[in-house]
Amino acid sequence: MESLERKAAVEHSGSGVGGLPQRPTRPVRVGTVWIGGGHPIVVQSMCATKTCDVEATARQANQLAQAGAGVVRIAVDNRRDVQALAEIRQKTDANLAVDLQENYRLAAEVAPWVQKIRYNPGHLHHQEPTRPWQDKVKWLAETAVQHDCALRVGVNCGSVDPVLKEKFPPEDALGPMLASALEHGELLDRLGFRRYCVSLKDSDPQRVIEANRRFAQQRPDVPLHLGVTEAGLPPEGIQKTRRALMPLLREGIGDTIRVSLTLPSEKKHLEVEAGLAILADLAAGRFDLPPEPTGRKLNIISCPSCSRVENDSFVLLAEKVRAMCEPFQDLPITIAVMGCRVNGPGETDSADLGLWCGPNRVNLKRGHHLLGAFSYEEILPRLREELDRLAAQYQT
């Protein structure tokens, strides 16, 4: 496989999007597509259907692939999902990536059915906490080799390795992310595994730009997966993503992209369309970016809808929160609306007000402090109370 990758690097180095320069990253094969090495930038998306619903998930994987997604990601949380994934594989030709989050030990069971495994360095400590993370990564790399899979080292702002986080001052949001990505890349290299890409994602477009610039400077050989995590509802989520991705892609940084939007399942193809539109604009020489917000104003972040969302009302709730917050547009307040236990606990901590959605109740947080759990009917009036309190503070 290494000889194939070297051959691809020679044959496909070069122009990138519309003649823009691209970094000479190593090529990484994911099924029928290549990431890096001068290959066309690959657009990705993620199924929002329940993975255990085989027919719906296979149908959505096919729809996303037909819309132009070169890689389609599916979340797997338990063995019921693993069994479903084996059936899904028989019903789609899409290049599948699997997202394991805390359950890294499921990799061996899902690897036969996918072309790529995404793991989050910050979540490796959740399972078998006494086992060194280096051993876990070694096992993941061996599993990937055995089953002809690529890996993505997916670093997220809200779930950084807690040991690394303690080594940096609290105000340094990028330092721990960058250190995590670098140390995982270095370990994989020492293990002789080079078929991987890296992502460094944040909900703040400027942090995405800075983190990826810094990583690209230190590791110009590693392909980068670009995206803004929890970009939110369209059109704001698309605008945030364009502000982050277009400057990077124009600089030749980025080999695969995802536009992560809060959408109902039947509209997930809009993520692919938004990603293709970014690439089309770059190819045509159109570099106009959405205007930057002037000063700190209301910022609503919400995670992309996926199979982990624990209540289908999550997307509707995010839309209702946005509508309710219209009178508060000029206040420097950040509100986070998260749809599951993976994103909820950590990624609401940095918001002024956070909504962490469970199956039947929504946890309302003020920063790290939990204010209580409320039904989906109760949460909006309770959130309005907190907004009014914050507004009164800014007006005095």
| Residue 179 β-bridge partners | none
Half-sphere exposure of 350 (CA within 13 A, CB side): 18
How far is Cα 229 from Cα 258, in angstroms, rounded to an integer? 9
Residues in the chain, overall count: 396
Q: Which CATH number fits domain 14-283: 3.20.20.20, 3.30.390.10, 3.60.15.30, 3.40.50.150?
A: 3.20.20.20
Within 8 A by CB and 6+ apart from 108, the residues are 143
What are the start and end residues of each CATH 3.30.413.10 domain in the chain? 299-395
Q: How far is CA 160 from CA 11, 105, 303, in A?
A: 37, 19, 17
Q: What is the pLDDT of residues 111-151, one digit of tens each?
A: 999 999 999 999 898 889 999 999 999 999 999 999 999 99
Residue whose tokens read 């293709």: 276
Q: What is the pLDDT of residues 154-188, one digit of tens each?
A: 998 878 888 888 999 988 989 999 999 999 999 99
Within 8 A by CB and 6+ apart from 327, the residues are none
Write down the pLDDT at residue 6: 35
- 8 Å CB contact between 137 and 124: yes
Q: Omega into 132 within 30° of 0, i.e. cis?
A: no
33-35 and 28-30 strand pairing: antiparallel
Which token pair is 74?
């599916």
SS3 154: strand
Q: Which CATH number fits domain 299-395: 3.30.413.10, 3.20.20.70, 3.30.465.10, 2.40.50.100?
A: 3.30.413.10
Write down the pLDDT at residue 4: 43
Would you give the DSSP letter of residue 92?
-
Write down the pLDDT at residue 295: 57
What are the start and end residues of each CATH 3.20.20.20 domain in the chain? 14-283
How many separate helices (H) and strands (E) can be counted in the chain?
13, 15
Residue spans of beta strands (DSSP E) within the chain: 28-30, 33-35, 42-46, 71-75, 96-99, 116-119, 150-156, 196-201, 224-226, 256-258, 299-302, 334-338, 353-357, 361-366, 369-375
pTM: 0.91
Put residue 31 in one of left, alpha, beta given phi > 0 → left and psi -120 to 50 → alpha. Answer: left
- 8 Å CB contact between 262 and 239: no
Residues of the chain falling short of pLDDT 70: 1-20, 293-296, 341-347, 396
- 8 Å CB contact between 100 and 78: no
